[in-house]
Amino acid sequence: MSDKTYLDWPFFDDAHRRLERDLEAWVPPNTGGDHPADVDSACRELVKRLGRDGWLRYAVGGTDCGGRFDAIDTRSICLIRETLARHSGLADFAFAMQGLGSGALTLHGSPQQKQRYLAKVAAGEAIAAFALSEPGSGSDVAAMACAARAEGDHYVLDGEKTWISNGGIADFYVVFARTGEAPGSRGLSAFVVEANTPGFEIAERIEVIAPHPLARLRFESCRIPRENLVGAPGQGFKVAMQTLDIFRTSVAAAALGFARRALDEALFRATRRKMFGQTLADFQITQAKLAQMATGIDASALLTYRAAWLRDRGRNVTREAAMAKMTATETAQQVIDSAVQIWGGLGVVCGHPVERLYREIRALRIYEGATEVQQLIIARQTLASYQQPSAG
Ligand code: COS
């Protein structure tokens, strides 16, 4: 049984505690299976179930278009991701991508766009995706080459996107492209591209160590109605970054869920496995490991829920979200590695919970801003506040 004492921390109110309890009761153990033969169908099914039972309402903002609240409640999203991740990486993925894929619409969509897309995302009737990275620009978003030129009442998209989660099963993609109002980050815009738009195709499906739908996308003279522009022209970089400010914090929460599961598995093994006349847990060397694991988890939780709480209070959390994502994902990797060590040979057997966690955690240190990007963000802001301390 995972430690739940953190729910008494002042970041949460009773509605959060109820949400966690209700979701814990809803999610059957190992939802979604660990090695589904058909990952696309498994994801579609998870989205349907998460939508049918109301959980996806937390992934979008706006009660008039299916959202649970008027604005996204970051703490709810984090609690849901943490809880789902403890049981099933794929269920967490299905939930998270509905939020990331529609986040730009929640934040900057027109009333018509919100009505058209968000209600279906919240009901699990449409699958969303977020298309930012390209073969030549991952960390350096401002260097993107995919271009959208205005032509009458349309934009015409040409270029590629890659590492796009839900690529291949999404009904629509929020795509970022260069519109050229100004150089670099000031010349990008965001668009909704529906999957059946002529000129859009899945160029390649990509298989990864923890399978989920992932693809490279290609746009060739792909005509998008002007009303599919999300936010103002030239504001795409900020739209992407504001979306990531929410979902980077939630990646930290997912890592936390993986780490908590790993600690549970390690405790189970350490208190049962006998050697040299005692249990593994009786050895101080094991206790040192368990202490590191438990402390790392609490430190990650504090940073994660601080970032979520601050965002829910309307604060800019770019730095706090970066700290949370960096710490929680790097810590979870170490915690899971220790759990594998405690399980010994069994820990590397395909299908074992800690083997699955070992594969699942790895990508979280890379996507939505690699650890090195988070370091850059934190250092820049730390240096800026040192060099320009606020008056008084
Ligand atoms: N919210 C709102 N605005 C933001 C912002 C945020 N979180 N972060 C930056 N901006 C603004 C800046 O204020 C700046 O505005 P002005 O042009 O008005 O001055 C502008 O955006 C450019 O910011 P910056 O100079 O910091 O941009 P850089 O090109 O140096 O890039 C990083 C910054 C590296 C942080 C950014 O490119 C990044 O996050 N990269 C990782 C991308 C990523 O996560 N990829 C994974 C995709 S999802 S799997």
Pocket test for ligand 1, best of 74, 141, 166 (most atoms within 8 A of CB): 141
Nearest CA to ligand 1 atom 44: 369
- What does the buried/exposed string (b/e) look like for 333-354 if buried means 16 or more CB atoms within 10 Å of the residue's CB? bbbbbbbbebbeeebeeeebbb
Residues facing residue 225 across a β-bridge: 154
Q: What is the DSSP letter of 27?
A: S
| Helices (H), ranges, the chain | 14-26, 39-52, 74-87, 89-108, 111-113, 119-123, 236-270, 284-312, 318-343, 353-362, 371-387
If you measure from the C-alpha of residue 238 to the centroid of ligand 1, how many angstroms do you get, rounded to a whole number? Answer: 7
Phi and psi at 154, nearest 5°, equal: -130, 165
| Residue (of 242, 265, 291) closest to 130 by Cα position | 242
Which pTM was predicted?
0.96
Count the residues in the chain. 392
Nearest CA to ligand 1 atom 6: 241
CB of residue 318 inside a 6 A radius of ligand 1:
yes
Ligand 1 atom having least distance to the Cα of 369: 44
Q: Are 343 and 266 in contact (CB under 8 A)?
A: yes
CB of residue 237 inside a 6 A radius of ligand 1:
yes
Question: Active-site residues: which are they?
Answer: 368
If you measure from the C-alpha of residue 140 to the centroid of ligand 1, how many angstroms do you get, rounded to a whole number? Answer: 9
Ligand 1 atom having least distance to the Cα of 133: 47
The pLDDT score that the predictor gives to residue 32 is 44
Residue 292 burial (CB < 10 Å; 0-12/13-18/19+)?
middle
Pocket test for ligand 1, best of 140, 161, 237 (most atoms within 8 A of CB): 237
pLDDT tens digits, the chain, 392 residues: what are they? 788 999 999 999 999 999 999 999 999 765 544 568 899 999 999 999 999 999 999 999 999 999 999 999 999 999 999 999 999 999 999 999 999 999 999 999 999 999 999 999 999 999 999 999 999 999 999 999 999 999 999 999 999 999 999 999 999 999 999 999 999 999 999 999 999 999 999 999 999 999 999 999 999 999 999 999 999 999 999 999 999 999 999 999 999 999 999 999 999 999 999 999 999 999 999 999 999 999 999 999 999 999 999 999 999 999 999 999 999 999 999 999 999 999 999 999 999 999 999 999 999 999 999 999 999 999 999 999 999 876 55
User: Residue 173 corresponds to which tokens in the numbers above?
Assistant: 């993609």
Pocket test for ligand 1, best of 189, 235, 241, 373 (most atoms within 8 A of CB): 241
If you measure from the C-alpha of residue 237 to the centroid of ligand 1, how many angstroms do you get, rounded to a whole number? Answer: 6
